[in-house]
Structure 1
Amino acid sequence: MQLNLHNPETDEDFFVGFYDPINALELYTWSFISATFDSKTGYVALAFNGKISYETINEDLIGCTLIRSDEPLLIGKYNNPMVEFGVSRQLPSGLLDEVCIYNKSLTPKQMQEEYLSYTNGKHPNLDFSQIALDSSVYEGDRYRPQYHGLPPAVWMNEPHSPFYYKGMYHVFYQHNPSGPYWSQIRWGHIASTDMIHWKYLKDAVVPTKGVCPEGVWTGGACIGPDGQPWLAITAGTNKSTWSGQNIAFAHPKDISDPYLQDWVIEKKVSITQPNDNSQGERDQFRDPYIWYDDGTYYMLVSTSIPGAGGSANVYTSTNMHDWTFRNYLYQCDYNLYPEQGAHWECVILLPISTKDKTKTKYILFDCPQYTVDGYVVDCYYWIGDFDKNSCKFIPDNDKPRLFDMGRGIYTGQNGYCFLTDEDKASGKTNYEDGRTVIYAIAQGKDAGTNQNYYSGWAHNFAIPLELFLSDDGNEVIREPIKEIESLYGETLYELNETKSFNDVNNDISNIRSDSFRIDMNISINSNNEKYQVGLDVRYNKVVSNIGTEKTSITFSNDGVFINRLQSTLHDYVNKQPSYTYQSVKNDYDVIILMDRSMLEVYIDDVMSFTTRVYPKYGNSDYIHFFSENASLNINSMKIIQMKGAYNDNITPAYYGNVGDLEA
């Protein structure tokens, strides 16, 4: 409670604040809050559910009067909240029912009687459905994806901690339910039977007094020694006696619930970072990644080696309670590869095998963090081997490789290798025989925080990818998971013979969609030193005096890239092109996933581009081939309209405030 007061003796205005030192508002239940001030005695009291939680007699307040304000009275919001990126913070996410203001001070007995009068002696229940965030408010949002994983509302950051348990896939994500900005992060939770059609669930783990009061950051998950899922969390604390980032565990409250909606955080942290920099630089200690293999539990914790760049600590255990620090997983030469940054986040290590399972290696991912300007946070990887005795990763080549060429959109990767029920039924037990799937965030930052503010949401999942090792052991094959086929709607166009790009343009000239999949094989022939061919998506046929809109998937003499320079006529969107994949050849296999503002392109199964596009006009929804200084033939092509992952019938994107681009 904050009081703005006037002292008549000194003729001074001042404010004073009081808070409840005992209670925090509980999640998913009603709380009855009372506050009183008596200027005659200086008595101040706060009550929680009818019981006094704080009271004092402050003689300095005797005779002081409340200052009349021209500002509106706000309940549940600060009059002068912290503003960051144009967004007012410090706002609770919840429901507000009865509000009563009295022109008198209440005694403790009267505050208790008020509570009892509302509850009739029985505290009211609140079902989660009454307070769940409502995704229907985004119906018709022109940029919000329709078949990608995403929270029901507001903010998400990286997805993490996936696991498969009793026929259900679970994945968590960094979440702020209060607004489209980063603050007091907790774990959102979604579950699915196919990794495509997701059910929104309660936030699983939240900032908790003692263990993680400052936030619950990215972590990992595995099936523990009790046969039940365990969550390993980054516990954000404000303790000064150890690192502000430590590792704790959470467990399902009701293992019979197929959705595992309620979780309980252990009462103390399990791994604390030493203060002597022996296990990474202090306060660079987060994002635990955990798995079980042949009697041993392994945990990676992202960190940095003091003065030597990013890495990850490796810990092992046989019971998930007693952990032994083993080693730094891998040290990349920071001076030789400065793009690897001063610190690492989201370090994960996964087995990948050839499709025939004759060869298995490991893939190490990281997201470097920088202390100098000039770098973009991206997802990097190495292919190599993991020595389980020394707990060291040995790369085939020390040079880090970009996993995605979208330029900082695909980040915060996480994944798992798991045995399906069918695998187990067939007798498979080896961890490395499992299915390797990776998740990531698809950043929406290119539209800016203003877009977040007005749309009320920020970011979403990239499509889950299944990873394989190429037959030669040098490349990672990435494929959208096969379950995506459940989203297939009408086939809009199918070509099974070679045609010129002009002929195909005639065939597809009337196809309009902002949510589709394209599979195609193209051939290029050019005798020119410089050439460009490709496919425009979110293409507008109109070229006006202010320009046009199109996003060009481009194959050139320099390689493959996504040209976004004309992707929108909005002036606030970052339209920087993607990186260039330096593969120059005569034919390409291409997969394209378009989902409103989401664009994912896969080239020959070994490179991907994840990017965002934000067309301003409603008629920027055509598809069109182009060619400059080269011949372009389409050997095969299939365009499929995609259904929604949350509703088969998608509400059309709303462009009523801008309409179509006109000549």
Structure 2
Amino acid sequence: MNKHQQEIAKAHSLINEKSRTVSQDDWRLHYHVMPEANWMNDPNGFCMWNGEYHLFYQHHPYSPEWGPMYWGHVKSKDLVHWERLPIALAPSESYDKDGCFSGSAIEKDGKLYLFYTGNQWTGPDQETDLKQVQCLAVSEDGIHFEKINENPVIDKAPDGDVHPFHFRDPKVWKKGDMYYCVLGSQTKNRMGQALLYQSSDLIHWEFVNILAKGQGNQGYMWECPDLFQLDDTDVLVMSPQGVHPEGDYYHNLHQSVAVMGHFHQDKGNFTSEKWQILDHGFDFYAPQTMLDEQGRRIVIAWMAMWESEMPEQKQDWAGAMTIPCILSIEKEKLRIDPIPELASLRYDPIRYQKLIVDQNKKLDGVHGDCLEMKVSIDAKEATKFGLNLRMNETGTERTNLTYYVDEEKIVLDRSKSGKGPGGVRKAPLALQNGKLQLHLFIDKSSVEIFMQNGEKVMSARIYPERDSTGIEFFSDAAIEMIQLEKWSLKQSV
């Protein structure tokens, strides 16, 4: 057993010790990918290989706090039911001794390659004292990975206006006979940018160009860039750090955005248009996409946020993934919809039609802490209406979603959601012919809300008491609930 495999075995020993007690926590999610124990952040290596979906993730197996990064690993046949696999990567070599940071996966010659950032701390300040290089590991069975002898395959940042140390998160793809890779970076004066590389064999890489560079209030570092084509549009998805709030936008510590534009392959640059926020809630970071065998562009993200309070850490775990979603473009805007496969978890359906709601109302059978719900509401004469989710009997604990008709704005308020961080997030949202369409997923300690058929999304971790399972509708004037469908959801993870 080489040093890499020894480090993986050591980590598994500790995870196995903790997993039994961790699994008893009331906040453990039922249909979202989580670590078996201890820390999780960014999704990595999201791909299809041999007809199955593989998802890797940043993982610290020794603590529920962030630490030297490993790659956890799960796989699925349907993006719903996930099987845990052994840890794929551990820091074991001089070039990655302080962490196997984020990256991606690609198939070549029947083997699965992981492309990741090797991190080394060179001093006490983690913002300035670091060296980052790009590395490869390979597997013949999609489970056990070995780092190649040629590592690091990119051993330094390119010359020019590129910060020499902050240089990470490779996302690789193939077009024609060439492999391409986009990397997160910043300028020497701390403006976010993305770099483009190309290779004929995955091992020997050539710097092509600065793909895109920020300006104004577009952040000091672009993490986890992902470039792909959707219909006839090129899309750059990334997580800019250091964007300052603008009105109702950019109130999380760091953001996740999509930029639509055009990738000029001959020049190696990307001309962009307007940024679009991917999620208007609290907890959505480092999204990564993949193209599946059905031709769908699937996205998944870390459902947490840096420096946010995570009450589950006291139970020896931290972090989760969002539900997988499908990206599409409609009227030059990106739409995000939950995958239809999640319907396989439904049971105990409840339905209501043409129901008038005035002031506050609870409905028989509409409650729970692990559910899916679709609601179509005609606002009629109301100026304010919405839902209280995960509410206790007295109403003192609740997660509040309110639509303001005159402002054309939706507001998610978790100031009374229970333990953990509070806060309010707002998003512009117009009614469609006077109607609001909501598609909600609640899971133990999370809520994900899709609005107007994927036009806007809000995701949040919440930490209510076990008995806070009520759902209440409210309005300042009569509204019509045109249709409501609610299902309890089975556990799949």
Normalising by structure 2, what TM-score? 0.90
Residue 631 (str. 1) matches residue 478 (str. 2): yes
3-state DSSP class of the match of 1:580? strand
Q: Deviations over 1:12-51 (max 9, x none)?
A: xxxxxxxxxx989923668xxxxxxxxxxxxxxxxxxxxx
Give the partner amino acid of 2:179. Y
Partner of 2:314: 454
Q: Over alpha carbons, which structure has the higher Rg?
A: 1
The CA RMSD measured in Å over matched residues stands at 2.7
Partner of 1:523: 378
Residues 386 and 394 in structure 1, CA contact (< 8 A), matched pair in contact too = yes
Residue 270 (str. 1) matches residue 139 (str. 2): no
Structure 1 residues 23, 413: CA separation in 2 closer, same or farther (over 3 Å shift)?
A: closer
Partner of 2:460: 611
Of 276, 285, 304 in structure 2, the residue corresponding to residue 443 of structure 1 is: 304
Partner of 1:602: 450
Residues 189 and 202 in structure 1, CA contact (< 8 A), matched pair in contact too = yes
Give the partner amino acid of 1:361. T
Partner of 1:390: 267
Residue 300 (str. 1) matches residue 156 (str. 2): no
Q: Deviations over 1:532-554 (max 9, x none)?
A: 201111022325xxxx1111221
1:249 Cα deviation from its structure 2 partner: 0.5
Partner of 1:79: none
Of 201, 204, 207 in structure 2, the residue corresponding to residue 322 of structure 1 is: 204
Residues 417 and 436 in structure 1, CA contact (< 8 A), matched pair in contact too = yes
Structure 1 residues 164, 329: CA separation in 2 closer, same or farther (over 3 Å shift)?
A: same
Give the partner amino acid of 1:594. I
**C-alpha distance in 2 between matches for 1:172 and 1:615:** 29
Structure 1, unmatched stretches of 5+, are 1-21, 31-91, 96-130, 354-359, 424-433, 647-663
Of 242, 255, 268 in structure 2, the residue corresponding to residue 370 of structure 1 is: 242
Structure 1 residues 380, 515: CA separation in 2 closer, same or farther (over 3 Å shift)?
A: same
3-state DSSP class of the match of 1:484? helix
Partner of 2:126: none
3-state DSSP class of the match of 1:483? helix
Partner of 1:182: 66
Structure 1 residues 301, 457: CA separation in 2 closer, same or farther (over 3 Å shift)?
A: same
**C-alpha distance in 1 between matches for 2:252 and 2:472:** 34
Residue 144 (str. 1) matches residue 28 (str. 2): yes
Structure 1 residues 203, 633: CA separation in 2 closer, same or farther (over 3 Å shift)?
A: same
**C-alpha distance in 2 between matches for 1:293 and 1:25:** 33
Give the partner amino acid of 1:535. L
3-state DSSP class of the match of 1:237? strand
Structure 1 residues 239, 180: CA separation in 2 closer, same or farther (over 3 Å shift)?
A: closer
Query: Where does 1:85-104 land on structure 2 (aligned, <5 Å)?
Result: 94=13
Of 326, 329, 352 in structure 2, the residue corresponding to residue 469 of structure 1 is: 329
Structure 1 residues 222, 633: CA separation in 2 closer, same or farther (over 3 Å shift)?
A: same
Residues 160 and 173 in structure 1, CA contact (< 8 A), matched pair in contact too = yes
Of 368, 378, 403 in structure 1, the residue corresponding to residue 278 of structure 2 is: 403
1:292 Cα deviation from its structure 2 partner: 0.9
Structure 1 residues 237, 488: CA separation in 2 closer, same or farther (over 3 Å shift)?
A: same
**C-alpha distance in 2 between matches for 1:236 and 1:445:** 19
Structure 1 residues 194, 235: CA separation in 2 closer, same or farther (over 3 Å shift)?
A: same
1:510 Cα deviation from its structure 2 partner: 4.9
Of 528, 531, 541 in structure 1, the residue corresponding to residue 393 of structure 2 is: 541
**Relative contact order higher in (CA < 8 Å, ≥ 6 apart):** 2
Partner of 2:131: 244
Count of aligned pairs between the two proteins: 477
Structure 1 residues 504, 489: CA separation in 2 closer, same or farther (over 3 Å shift)?
A: farther
Structure 1 residues 632, 445: CA separation in 2 closer, same or farther (over 3 Å shift)?
A: farther
**C-alpha distance in 1 between matches for 2:421 and 2:57:** 25
1:520 Cα deviation from its structure 2 partner: 1.6
Structure 1 residues 606, 553: CA separation in 2 closer, same or farther (over 3 Å shift)?
A: same
Structure 2, unmatched stretches of 5+, are 124-128, 246-250
Normalising by structure 1, what TM-score? 0.68
**C-alpha distance in 2 between matches for 1:562 and 1:371:** 21
Partner of 1:494: 351
Query: Where does 1:107-146 land on structure 2 (aligned, <5 Å)?
Result: 132=16, 135-146=19-30
Give the partner amino acid of 1:26. Q
Structure 1 residues 511, 308: CA separation in 2 closer, same or farther (over 3 Å shift)?
A: closer
Of 416, 426, 429 in structure 2, the residue corresponding to residue 566 of structure 1 is: 416
Partner of 2:436: 588
Structure 1 residues 265, 148: CA separation in 2 closer, same or farther (over 3 Å shift)?
A: same
**C-alpha distance in 1 between matches for 2:241 and 2:66:** 17
1:325 Cα deviation from its structure 2 partner: 1.0
Partner of 1:551: 399
**C-alpha distance in 1 between matches for 2:40 and 2:169:** 16
Give the partner amino acid of 1:499. L
